[in-house]
């Protein structure tokens, strides 16, 4: 069999392991010939046909499945693409992958290589690629909606619109340069460009001033369980997770390290961290645990200060004074109080008994409400990653320099706008982004 001139890649595109159906994807110049040799005759484009999947050398039937043939450029990667839908047994999948591996010119795909080829073919921009990766990783409904919007181009459309405004303003500036000997024309074009930029700056500031809601939704709303020893923090983590993830003991200081549990509360991703109890101690390991607890509390979006209702410590320790504005006091062990002994509580306190489950459902609802309020459901696209935020901030800085700079230095002001446009272009990949490509595509599994 003659080797293919261009590299052709293949991989299992569905999840590994035993399943009802497994999908093997092939992309590149040799995809069509693979279909003809291993599952011929080649079916009509974009129609699923039942075929016998044969070994390319011996002709042995490896499986009977569905074959889909998508000639480029109307395919995910922009290249010729074939998909073999097999029975999902491990032996079937391994036999087909082994058969593809002996075909000259074919090789196993690298992680994210299908998506990278789609990017290089102009099928996806970088922001859409990152949205696709987030969609694959989405664990909650909120994450799914946000990732799908980004993968569908909502964020890219916003930045492309801004970039179009920058190009329009830059065109006016350069027009002024062409008529630099006519002062009136130069002043007018600069004023028109400045008006465009002032409107754009307002949009950029509004986009940045979002409370990091997109990043929180992507990474998870972080809740830190803090409190004195034996207040019931580990028991509460287990109750929220509905499984034993933390060791529960009457011995003070059992929890030394931070334990995290990921929850889905009303479609919002919530990460709850169990931490070491706060108390005076001489033990170096326990002191280190409390140091880590403080760090977790400072980084958290919400702090639950857990204390015993029979001897409540409602005041946070001095070292946690900086998180008091986002703290919720939880009075645990209310089942140990006598009947009618529970006094009315203010809004920033929640009664609870982890042992009996009393108040647990109310606490979960309260956490979901707080997470929804913080993350919100604003319709406009949100910043989801530090890379995007840093580039938008760089764009804003260049626009500020433009507005504050001397109008007579027209060449410098034009460069300010070019730098702003380049910063936006690096988000979507419109300008050189070679240094971030490997990092982005390595997040994908091999079959994507």
13-66 confidence digits (pLDDT tens): 998 889 999 999 999 999 999 999 999 899 999 999 999 999 999 999 999 999
Q: Identify whether 48 is part of a domain.
A: yes
Please tell me the pTM assigned to this model: 0.80
What integer pLDDT is reported at residue 186 of this predicted model? Answer: 62
Structurally, the chain folds into a number of domains equal to 3
Q: Identify whether 115 is part of a domain.
A: no
| Spatial CB neighbours of 380, under 8 Å, sequence gap ≥ 6 | 158, 207
Q: Where are the beta strands (DSSP E) in 235-368?
A: 259-265, 268-274, 302-308, 327-332, 349-351
For residues 229-246, give the mean pLDDT.
79
What integer pLDDT is reported at residue 302 of this predicted model? Answer: 93
For residues 175-199, give the mean pLDDT.
76
The verdict on 338 and 424 lying in the same domain is no
- Lowest mean pLDDT: which of 180-184, 206-210, 291-295, 410-414? 180-184
The verdict on 258 and 368 lying in the same domain is yes
Task: Supply the range of the domain harboring residue 66.
Answer: 8-109
Give the CATH number, domain containing residue 133: 1.20.120.430
> Binning pLDDT at 50, 70 and 90, where does residue 318 land?
confident
Q: Which helix (H) or strand (E) holds 215?
A: helix 213-219
- Lowest mean pLDDT: which of 98-107, 144-153, 246-255, 394-403? 246-255
How far is CA 308 from each of CA 209, 275, 318, rounded to the nearest angstrom?
A: 38, 16, 19
- Lowest mean pLDDT: which of 98-112, 153-167, 231-245? 231-245
What integer pLDDT is reported at residue 67 of this predicted model? Answer: 97
pLDDT at 268 over 70: yes
pLDDT at 234 over 90: no
| Tokens 């002032």 found at | 198
Q: Identify whether 2 is part of a domain.
A: no
What integer pLDDT is reported at residue 283 of this predicted model? Answer: 55
Last residue of a domain, one of 329, 354, 375: 375
389-398 confidence digits (pLDDT tens): 999 999 999 9
What integer pLDDT is reported at residue 30 of this predicted model? Answer: 95
The verdict on 396 and 371 lying in the same domain is no
For residues 312-339, give the mean pLDDT.
85
Helix (H, G, I), strand (E, B) or coil at 291: helix
The verdict on 85 and 143 lying in the same domain is no
How far is CA 220 from each of CA 146, 267, 332, 354, rounded to the nearest angstrom?
A: 13, 11, 25, 24
The verdict on 45 and 162 lying in the same domain is no
| Tokens 């181009």 found at | 153
Q: What is the DSSP string of 168-213?
A: HHHHHHHHHHHTTT-HHHHHHHHHHHHHHHHHHHHHHHHHH-STTH
What integer pLDDT is reported at residue 288 of this predicted model? Answer: 65
């Amino acid at each position: 069999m003659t080797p293919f001139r261009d590299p052709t890649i293949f991989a299992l595109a569905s999840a590994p392991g035993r399943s009802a159906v497994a999908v093997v994807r092939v992309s590149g110049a040799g995809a069509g010939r693979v279909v003809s040799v291993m599952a011929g005759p080649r079916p009509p484009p974009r129609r699923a046909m039942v075929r016998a999947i044969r070994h390319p050398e011996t002709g042995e039937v490896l499986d009977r499945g569905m074959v889909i043939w998508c000639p480029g450029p109307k395919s995910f990667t922009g290249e010729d693409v074939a998909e073999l839908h097999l029975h999902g047994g491990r032996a079937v999948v391994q036999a087909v992958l082994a058969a593809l591996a002996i075909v000259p010119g074919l090789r196993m795909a690298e992680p994210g290589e299908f998506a990278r080829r789609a990017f290089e073919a102009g099928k996806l921009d970088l922001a859409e690629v990152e949205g696709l990766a987030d969609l694959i990783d989405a664990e909650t409904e909120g994450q799914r909606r946000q990732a799908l919007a980004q993968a569908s181009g909502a964020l890219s459309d916003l930045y492309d619109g801004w970039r179009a405004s920058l190009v329009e303003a830059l065109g006016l500036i350069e027009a002024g340069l062409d008529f630099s000997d006519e002062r009136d024309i130069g002043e007018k074009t600069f004023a028109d460009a400045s008006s465009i930029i002032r409107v754009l700056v307002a949009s950029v500031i509004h986009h940045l001033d979002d409370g990091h809601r997109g990043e929180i939704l992507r990474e998870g709303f972080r809740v830190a369980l803090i409190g004195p020893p034996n207040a019931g923090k580990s028991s509460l983590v287990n109750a929220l997770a509905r499984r034993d993830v933390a060791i529960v003991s009457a011995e003070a200081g059992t929890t030394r390290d931070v334990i995290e549990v990921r929850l889905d509360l009303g479609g919002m991703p919530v990460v709850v961290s169990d931490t070491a109890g706060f108390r005076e101690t001489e033990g170096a390991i326990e002191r280190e645990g409390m140091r880590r607890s403080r760090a977790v509390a400072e980084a958290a979006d919400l702090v639950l200060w857990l204390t015993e209702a029979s001897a409540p410590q409602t005041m946070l320790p001095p070292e946690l004074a900086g998180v008091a504005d986002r703290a919720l006091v939880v009075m645990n062990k209310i089942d140990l109080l006598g009947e009618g002994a529970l006094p009315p509580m203010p809004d920033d306190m929640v009664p609870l008994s982890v042992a009996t489950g009393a108040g647990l459902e109310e606490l979960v609802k309260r956490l979901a409400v707080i997470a929804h309020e913080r993350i919100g459901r604003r319709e406009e696209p949100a910043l989801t990653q530090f890379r995007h935020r840093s580039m938008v901030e760089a764009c804003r800085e260049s626009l500020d320099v433009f507005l504050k700079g001397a109008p007579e230095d027209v060449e410098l002001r034009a460069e300010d706008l070019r730098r702003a446009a380049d910063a936006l272009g690096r988000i979507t990949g419109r300008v050189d982004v070679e240094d971030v490509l490997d990092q982005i595509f390595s997040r994908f599994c091999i079959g994507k």
